[in-house]
Structure 1
Amino acid sequence: MAEKNILAYFKSPEEAEGAARKLQALRVVDYSIDRFSRYGSGTMMEFAQDLEMSHQSAGIMAKADPSNSGMSDGGQGGPTGRDILLTAVVDENVHHQAMKIVEDAGGMI
């Protein structure tokens, strides 16, 4: 049994979780849902008054970004909108079916 990978980007964790639930009907081998940022902290970030990050360098970079000053439109590039990554491993026999499920759920492959 050969396996194939799918990497899909979503706008929200809920969209990705919905796709993952549907993929489980196809007997997905494995999957994960992660949020990423342009600073590479590797953890979920909370953007509020203070940025809480586990990696000090990532926190410094995020706080220094012009989009956090309140004087910027925030359009400095980087991951905007689709910052949730669904990674799935499926049997190659259902790969096309799985990709359709992901796309129908709002994922960008």
Structure 2
Amino acid sequence: MSERTLMAYFKTPREAQQAVEKLKSLRLIEHSIDRFDGYPGEGAQHLDKIENPLSADFPGLGYLTLGGNFAIDAGVLAAASASASGFDSGGSDNRVNGRDILLTAIVHEDDYDEALRIVQDSGAL
């Protein structure tokens, strides 16, 4: 049995999950839905506690505002981002605009064209 991998980018996890539900009508072998970002680390939503920038020990602005795990040089560049500085929020709830949800699906080769149509009809790139 031959397999093909399909990678589709969505705006929300809900859109990706709805596409998976439709893909289950085909021979879906495996799937994964992940959020990705341009910065290394877990992101600001995964910080265990709110840190006070006046009294806390944190490595830099990129860690504090983006929740990234940066080397010193990369942290300086990340802090220059408009999202880190607060001059641009990146969208509602300070989330990245655009398609930052990746659906990876492995389907039977015979179902690939139909799977591609399903994810495109569901709003994927």
Secondary structure of residue in 2 paired with 1:93: helix
What is the aligned partner in structure 2 of residue 69 from structure 1? Answer: 85
Secondary structure of residue in 2 paired with 1:56: coil
1:70 shift after superposition: 2.2
What is the aligned partner in structure 2 of residue 87 from structure 1? Answer: 104
Q: Rg: which structure is higher?
A: 2
Does the CA-based 8 Å contact 1:35-1:44 persist in structure 2? no
Q: Which of 89, 93, 117 is the aligned partner of 1:100?
A: 117
Coordinate RMSD, CA, aligned: 2.9
Q: Which has the higher strand share?
A: 1
What is the aligned partner in structure 1 of residue 12 from structure 2? Answer: 12
Unpaired segments ≥5 residues, structure 1: none
What is the aligned partner in structure 2 of residue 56 from structure 1? Answer: 69
Code of the aligned partner of 1:9? Y
Unpaired segments ≥5 residues, structure 2: 51-63, 91-95
Distance 1:61 1:21, change over 3 A: farther
TM-score (norm 2): 0.67
What is the aligned partner in structure 1 of residue 23 from structure 2? Answer: 23
Q: Which has the higher helix share?
A: 2
Secondary structure of residue in 1 paired with 2:83: helix
- Equivalent pairs counted in the alignment come to 101
1:44 shift after superposition: 6.1
1:52 shift after superposition: 7.1
The share of aligned pairs that are identical, in percent, is: 41
Does the CA-based 8 Å contact 2:83-2:89 persist in structure 1? yes
Matched, 1:39 2:39: yes
1:25 shift after superposition: 1.2
Does the CA-based 8 Å contact 2:10-2:124 persist in structure 1? yes
